[in-house]
Structure 1
Amino acid sequence: MASVEVSLKEMMTAAEGALGAAVVDYTSGMALGTLGGGKDLDLTIAAAGNTDVVRAKVRTMEQLGLKSRIEDILITLESQYHLIRPVTGRNGNGLFLYLVLDKARSNLAMARHQLKRVEEQLEV
C-alpha cells in the first residue's frame, strides 16, 4: 500500500508528460496532496473545480438510476488531458486522483493504466 505522497510521485513519474497530480477529497473539495503544477496550473484551484465535476456526474448517475461506478473522467483541452479517477478502495471513499498531462508528450492509454494501478495501491 502506498501513502498519498508516494502515490503522487508515482503518478508524476510513471505517466510520461505529467504536468501535475493531486489526491482530492470530493466531499470537501480540498486536495490532500499535490505535486507539480505551476503558475499556469494551480492544482488547488483545479482540485476544487474538479470536485464539482465529480459531484455532478455522481448526482446525474443517481438520477438516471445507473448502478455502475465511474472508472475515470477525461477532459480534453487543446494541449492537455485532465484525468479524474475516483478511488474505490475501502479507505478511499470520497477521494479521487487527478492527473494533468501534456497532450503532445503523453500516451493517454498508458496514463489511464498507470492511474488505475496507483488507485489500487493508495492507502489513506
Structure 2
Amino acid sequence: MGNMDISLKEMMAIDGAVGAAVVDYNSGMALGVVGGSKDLDLQVAAAGNTEVVRAKMRTMESLGIKDGIEDILITLTNQYHLIRPVSGRGGKGLFLYLALDRNRANLALARHNLRGTEEKLEI
C-alpha cells in the first residue's frame, strides 16, 4: 500500500471524517480520495478548494506575509472542512483536504491528527 493510501486511511480514521483527499493545487486534481457522499463530491471539492488555497497564497504575497499556511478552516452548518498545505520537500504544491461531520468531530483533535498525517506524507 502506498504512502498516500495510508495517509488517506489515517485521515478517514479521524472522528467525524466523511471524506478526505490529497490535492495538487497547481492543477486542481485530486491525487487520491476516500469517502465522500452524493452530497460531497470530493473531485469537485478538490478543484474548488484549490481556488481557496491559491487565493490565500496570493493575498499573503500581496501583503508581504512570509509565514506559511498551517491550515484553512471552512465552517459550515453541519460540517468542518480542513485544508492543510503540505510543507515537506516532496509535498510542495499539495494540500490535504478533510471534511468532517460537525456533530461528531473534535476540531482541535482533527487538526492535531491532520498535522501528524501531513508530517508523515511522502509523495
Alpha-carbon deviation of 1:38?
1.4
Structure 2 residues not aligned, in runs of 5+: none
Alpha-carbon deviation of 1:44?
0.1
- The answer as to 2:105 corresponding to 1:106 is yes
Alpha-carbon deviation of 1:77?
0.1
Taking the TM superposition and a 5 Å limit, the aligned residue runs for 1:67-86 are 67-86=66-85
Tell me the secondary structure at the aligned position of residue 91 of structure 1: helix
Which amino acid in 2 is paired with 1:59? R
Tell me the secondary structure at the aligned position of residue 114 of structure 2: helix
**Runs of at least 4 residues off by over 6 Å:** none
State the match for 2:57 in structure 1.
58
State the match for 1:41 in structure 2.
40
If the length of structure 2 is used for normalisation, what is the TM-score?
Answer: 0.98
For the residues of structure 2 that align with 1:112 and 1:64, how far apart are their CA atoms?
A: 26
For the residues of structure 1 that align with 2:105 and 2:118, how far apart are their CA atoms?
A: 19
Identity %: 70
Alpha-carbon deviation of 1:103?
0.2
State the match for 2:5 in structure 1.
5
Q: CA RMSD in A?
A: 0.7
Structure 1 residues not aligned, in runs of 5+: none
For the residues of structure 2 that align with 1:65 and 1:41, how far apart are their CA atoms?
A: 35
State the match for 2:16 in structure 1.
17
State the match for 1:29 in structure 2.
28
If the length of structure 1 is used for normalisation, what is the TM-score?
Answer: 0.97
